[in-house]
Amino acid sequence: MLVKQREINQPLKKLLIDDGVDQHLASILAARNIGSIAEIHYDLKNLIPPNRLYSLEATAVFLHQCIKKQKKILIIGDYDADGATATAVAVLGLRKFLANVDFLVPNRFEYGYGLTIGIVKEALKKTPDVIITVDNGIASIEGVQFARDNNIDVIVTDHHLPADQIPNANFIVNPNQKNCSFSSKSLCGVGVVFYLLMALRAVFREANEFIEIQEPNLFDLIDLVCLGTVADLVPLDFNNRILVHHGMKKIKRNSCNFGIQAIAKLSNKSLSHLKTSDISFSIAPKLNAAGRLDDMSIGIKCLLSQSLQEAEVFAIELIKLNSQRKEIEVEMKEDALKHIIFDEEKNYSICLFDESWHQGVIGILASRIKEKYFRPTIIFAKDANGILKGSGRSIPGFHLRDALDFISKKHSDLIITFGGHAMASGLTIDEVNFELFVKVFNAHCANVMSKDDLNLVVDVDESILTMNATFDDIFKIDMSIWGQGFSPPSFTDEFTLVSQKTLMNKHTKCQLSLNGKVYEAIFFNFSENLPDKIKAIYSIEANEFRGSKKIQLILRDLI
């Protein structure tokens, strides 16, 4: 592990302070990938215009015609939080235009990912005129064609990277497709749908449709866009931060979606003090649990609920499923660690398979193993047809989806299907090819990565505890927009241990002294005795409970 101090852009820091930003927050922001103070002003007018998305305007014109003819529109989503929020935004948004709209979400265990032929056959029972995919579809060559062959028009909205061949859809809206000049390639599935709705509203305006119906306020949906964007771990570039900023403001005003309210309430989270990290680690996992273990329609129905009471019924189910998911994850992780024979010199990657593993949890397990060993990791489970489904997570500098693309071209019979992003991808292979895939994947990783690439680099910010940061200073930092690609601050300092105790035989709660001040601290999943002096990587939280205000350090690692 290499600990690196982030470099502060001092001229930018001065401009931020002159603009009214607190000095501690200014130091942190000036060490992020922003070029000017304009990039912290999250006005909606600064969003990239919808017309930059290739084919978006033509898609909106077509959709307007479908709505006017009262054609039956069916939304088909993915089974993660981005897919759930994208489905909910599509349904709620199109209803604002009086569209005849319904949704269908694939059961991952029956139909697999995307618009497969199987899910189209299921969709035919609802006799749709138009299918709109959300957060999927760009890889669904056969499914899209099958729908078209059955006289169904298809609009693909997606953000995943396209392969050389794209589906024969009527329209494709995807910031990552060729010829698309949309500068934010990190827009997620729900973001693409939100842009489609903005373009649709513009078409309705031009056609003077809002004389008979009220013009929709699409801002009503921004909280769901925020949830999906943070949950999908897409980089929070400027455009995404605008969407998240306004979504968080709506959530904190307690005027948000009933589903979000219900999950937050049952998770004991205060909406007024909700942070982006709460979305990542508390709200999103419960929504994801439905798609991992059961049926994502539970999560979608929670987000479509018309009252808090209705939403709580579904939220209770989601929380139960998430508890089950945690139990399964613990067992699978214990099994996985027994499987691993790790050689630091030879292992450029980790691939594991066990017949007993739950295919809905392999993505989380891949994340856990990747975090422990800092290697691109793919975990496989067997589906009902005997095919191995793999879920992979990568490390910075190694593009996982491109690696799978390279392998599929060099070994044409090895990978059945694949898709995804740089940091997360999925694939299917035949069980008999598992050992070969392990060797080929590791060899490819060894060819494109150096030993330095396998050394975890931890970026830390300038210490604010040594600069006498107050509770209010830390609270402002806590409430700011952080996420993937716009990392929340972490710090390193040397502390004197004052006291320590073990919680639940797995966590360490302690008091640490720095420059004469004593701070409460917790070290999750660490139960060893701490020495009298420690140098730690940590983050800081400003906690307020029943009028009591406390600064708490979250220890991440020891140096």
- Confirm if 486 and 32 have CB atoms less than 8 A apart: yes
- Confirm if 475 and 464 have CB atoms less than 8 A apart: no
From the list 418, 391, 395, 407, the residue with the least C-alpha distance to 440 is 407
- Confirm if 90 and 101 have CB atoms less than 8 A apart: yes
Average pLDDT (74-81) is 94
Residue by residue, DSSP assigns 395-461 as: -TT--HHHHHHHHHHHSTTT-SEEEE-SSEEEEEEEGGGHHHHHHHHHHHHHHH--TGGGS-EEEEP
- Confirm if 104 and 143 have CB atoms less than 8 A apart: no
Instruction: Extract the tokens encoding 475.
Output: 């609270």
Please count the residues of the chain: 559
pLDDT, tens only, 359-389 = 999 999 999 999 999 999 999 999 988 999 9
Instruction: Extract the tokens encoding 339.
Output: 């499987």
Q: How far apart are CA 122 and CA 297, in angstroms?
A: 15
CB atoms within 10 A of CB 318: 26
From the list 557, 508, 510, the residue with the least C-alpha distance to 536 is 557
What SS3 state is found at 79? coil
CA-CA distances (angstroms) from residue 69 to 98, 129, 156, 198? 11, 11, 20, 20
What SS3 state is found at 468? coil
The pTM of this model reads 0.94
Residue 102, strand partner residues: 74
pLDDT, tens only, 407-434 = 999 999 999 999 988 999 999 999 999 9
What SS3 state is found at 472? helix
From the list 523, 530, 519, the residue with the least C-alpha distance to 507 is 523
Sign of CA dihedral 352, 356, 362, 366: negative
pLDDT, tens only, 112-165 = 788 999 999 999 999 999 999 999 999 999 999 999 999 999 999 999 999 899
Q: Would you state the pLDDT for residue 108?
A: 74
Residue 105 has pLDDT above 90, yes or no: no
Q: How far apart are CA 190 and CA 222, in angstroms?
A: 10
- Helix residue ranges per DSSP H, 69-210: 81-96, 117-124, 141-149, 189-206
Instruction: Extract the tokens encoding 347.
Output: 């292992």
Residue 293 has pLDDT above 80, yes or no: yes
Distance of CA 542 to the CA centre of its chain: 24
Binning the chain into helix, strand and coil, the percentages to the nearest 5 are 45, 20, 35
Distance of CA 116 to the CA centre of its chain: 23
- Confirm if 263 and 302 have CB atoms less than 8 A apart: yes
From the list 524, 505, 501, 135, the residue with the least C-alpha distance to 296 is 135
Q: How far apart are CA 26 and CA 23, in angstroms?
A: 5
Of the pLDDT bands very low, low, confident and very high (cuts 50, 70, 90), residue 110 is confident
Q: How far apart are CA 215 and CA 206, in angstroms?
A: 12
Residue 545 has pLDDT above 90, yes or no: no
Task: Delineate the domains of the chain, giving CATH numbers in brackets.
Answer: 2-6+458-558 (2.40.50.460), 45-319 (3.90.1640.30), 340-454 (3.10.310.30)
Q: Would you state the pLDDT for residue 113?
A: 82
Q: How far apart are CA 366 and CA 355, in angstroms?
A: 16
Query: What mean pLDDT is reported for the chain?
Result: 95
- Confirm if 192 and 173 have CB atoms less than 8 A apart: yes
Average pLDDT (466-488) is 94
| Gap between the terminal Cα atoms of the chain | 9
DSSP H or E stretch at residue 49: none
Q: How far apart are CA 484 and CA 487, in angstroms?
A: 6
| DSSP letter assigned to residue 462 | P
Residue by residue, DSSP assigns 150-185 as: TT-EEEEE--SPP-SS----SEEE-TTSTT---S-T
Average pLDDT (164-182) is 96
| DSSP letter assigned to residue 483 | B
Q: How far apart are CA 201 and CA 210, in angstroms?
A: 9
pLDDT, tens only, 383-410 = 988 999 999 999 999 999 999 999 999 9
Q: How far apart are CA 532 and CA 42, in angstroms?
A: 45
